[in-house]
Amino acid sequence: MSPQNPTVQNPTVQNPTATTPAHGLFTTGTPTDSWTVRTALPVDYRVRTVPNVLDPANPALARAGAPAHGGPRRRLLVVEAKVDELYGERIRAYCTAQRIEHRILVLLANEQVKSMAAVFRVAEEMDRFGLARRGEPVIAIGGGVLTDVVGLACSLYRRSTPFVRVPTTLIGLVDAGVGAKTGVNFGEHKNRLGTYHPAAETLLDPAFLATLDRRHVSNGLAEILKVALIKDRELFGLLERHGEALRSTRFQHPAAAEVINRAVHGMLSELQPNLWEKTLERAMDYGHSFSPTLEMRALPELLHGEAVCVDMALTSVLAARRGLLDPVECARILTLMRRLQLPVHHRLLEPGLLHDALTDTVRHRDGRQRLPLPVGIGAGIFVDDLTPHELTRAVHELHSAAATLTDRQADEPQRRSANADQAA
């Protein structure tokens, strides 16, 4: 939904020097050549857990994002290729059972094809389908790449078309699927073209995760760890206790609901007061200062969450060096990252890349670093005075810490299974 959305209420058009309102406009009594338009747009969107979202008897998806009306339901669905392979039959059976006149666009979505070409492909299909302007929300079913692409297409099509998200990856469930941002990569930059256009409704069904490969589960765990480190110490404890089991069961585990709910809650409580990012000091930018450049340069080697994790490992060491984080807690963080099978270091983490990344981030944050750093586990501050020297020292320290960790990690599974035996 863009601020220019025509559903705006109580618009005021006024000449700042005006004294007499006439015909709803403020004028000075003489012809005027300057006006100020001020308006506000209330934004409501819903994120909710819907188990068994594809159950043919469950009306949630058929009703999502549109006012109930008696006429026939028409929907364009955009489904990610792999998701279509796994769930396509059930999606089609669902539409038939719910009497939805539908068309399905199957779209390959990954970081390399996250571009305007994919957005145009969705827009073409919207045109071909003859989509109604308001009452026929597009349904996006897939991971973060797919929901970002469909969201951007919907925000551009007729300047704003509603859509519904059904995230099918862990990153989608806790991050990409719950915020307001859409986007595609452009040039060498990640998500450089994008808009703020939240889905009218997002339906979260963790059952999709049962088919996700474990590397992508870890990838999502990185974004959950981000919320834990910067604002939710209890979530960190949950990850320490259940992280490996959550990964190995692909979140089909008793702790899954609490972990997902805390992560979504943490994310939304940060986003709601700053949905349009007027404030550039954003806690949820934690782990996203150096990672956008690292991710794009390492493409396709590092997944989004993996790059974010390397960034968080580096900034944890930075925080420890500044005395903001106890070294013991810093070691706990790095150990948890490894237990979640996430990288804590990358060979491209060298001064040249870090300099470029910081320069780009400073531009993105309007001329200041506004770098989130953890203060202990579960809180954070923003700093503006990071120096290249400090960064280089932290990288060296991280490098040694990562090497020690890898050595210790080698006998970790044995030790853990011994502990498990003792517990049993």
Ligand X SMILES: NC(=O)c1ccc[n+]([C@@H]2O[C@H](COP(=O)([O-])OP(=O)(O)OC[C@H]3O[C@@H](n4cnc5c(N)ncnc54)[C@H](O)[C@@H]3O)[C@@H](O)[C@H]2O)c1
Could you give the residue numbers annotated as active site? 181
Regarding 287 and contact with ligand X (CB under 6 A), the answer is: no
Q: How far is the CB of 16 from ligand X (least distance, A)?
A: 36
Cβ-based nearer residue to ligand X, 89 or 390: 89
Min. distance of Cβ 184 from ligand X in angstroms?
Answer: 9
* Part of the chain binding ligand X (CB under 6 A), chosen from 27-35, 144-152, 317-325, 381-389: 144-152
Contact pick of 47, 60, 77, 109 for ligand X (by CB under 6 A): 109
Least separation in angstroms between residue 417's CB and ligand X is 28
C-alpha closest to that of 145 among 112, 98, 122: 112
Distance CA 143, CA 108 (A): 11
- Distance (Å, whole) CA 92 – CA 271: 34
**Helices (DSSP H) in 64-158: which residue ranges?**
81-97, 116-129, 144-156
Residue with tokens 């390397």: 310
The residue (of 35 and 276) whose beta carbon lies closer to ligand X is: 276
- 111 lines the binding site for ligand X (CB under 6 A): yes
| Closest approach of ligand X to the CB of residue 352, in Å | 23
Phi, psi for 207 (deg, rounded to 5): -60, -25
Residue 217 or 395: which CB sits closer to ligand X? 217
Considering beta carbons, is residue 26 or 361 the nearer one to ligand X? 361
User: Going by C-beta distance under 8 Å and a sequence separation of 6 or more, which residues neighbour residue 169?
Assistant: 142, 143, 144, 208, 209, 212, 216, 219, 220
SS (H, E, C) 173-190: HHHHCCCCECCEEECCEE
Within 149-188, the residues that bind ligand X by CB under 6 A are 168-169, 171-172, 175-176, 179, 181
Does position 341 bind ligand X by CB under 6 A?
Answer: no
Q: Which stretch binds ligand X (CB under 6 A): 78-86, 125-133, 366-374, 376-384?
A: 78-86
Does residue 380 interact with ligand X by CB under 6 A? no
65 binds ligand X (CB under 6 A): no
* 174 contacts 216 by C-beta, under 8 angstroms: no
Closer to ligand X by Cβ: residue 65 or 305: 305
By the rule CB under 6 A, 80 interacts with ligand X: yes
Task: Please state the closest distance from residue 214 (CB atom) to ligand X, in A.
Answer: 11
Q: Which CB, 212 or 398, lies closer to ligand X?
A: 212
Compute the distance between CA of residue 290 and CA of residue 378 in angstroms, rounded to an integer: 20
Instruction: Judge whether 362 and 304 are in contact, CB under 8 Å.
Output: no
Total residues contacting ligand X (rule CB under 6 A)? 29
CA distance 1 to 44: 10
Residues 6+ apart with CB under 8 A from 281: 370, 372, 382
Among positions 194-223, residues that touch ligand X (CB under 6 A) are 208, 211-212, 216, 219
**What is the closest distance, in whole angstroms, from the C-beta atom of residue 114 to ligand X in the complex?**
6
Q: Hunting for tokens 């040039």 — which residue is that?
A: 187
Distance of CA 279 to the CA centre of its chain: 18
- Stretch near ligand X under the rule CB under 6 A, chosen from 23-31, 131-139, 145-153, 406-414: 145-153
Report if residue 118 touches ligand X, rule: CB under 6 A.
Answer: no
Of the two residues 79 and 324, which places its CB atom closer to ligand X in the complex?
79
Given 118, 145, 235, 342, the residue binding ligand X (CB under 6 A): 145
DSSP string of 277-326?
Answer: --S---GGGTT-SSHHHHHHHHTTSS-HHHHHHHHHHHHHHHHHHTTSS-
Residue 261 token pair: 């709910």
Q: How many helices (H) and strands (E) does the chain have?
A: 14, 14
Residue 379 burial class via C-beta count within 10 angstroms: exposed 0-12, middle 13-18, buried 19 and up: middle
Least distance (Å) between residue 198 CB and ligand X: 10
Q: Quick check: 247 binds ligand X (CB under 6 A)?
A: no
| Cα–Cα distance, 152 to 136 (Å, whole number) | 17
Contact residues for ligand X, defined by CB under 6 A = 80, 82-83, 86, 109-111, 114, 142-146, 148, 168-169, 171-172, 175-176, 179, 181, 191, 208, 211-212, 216, 219, 304
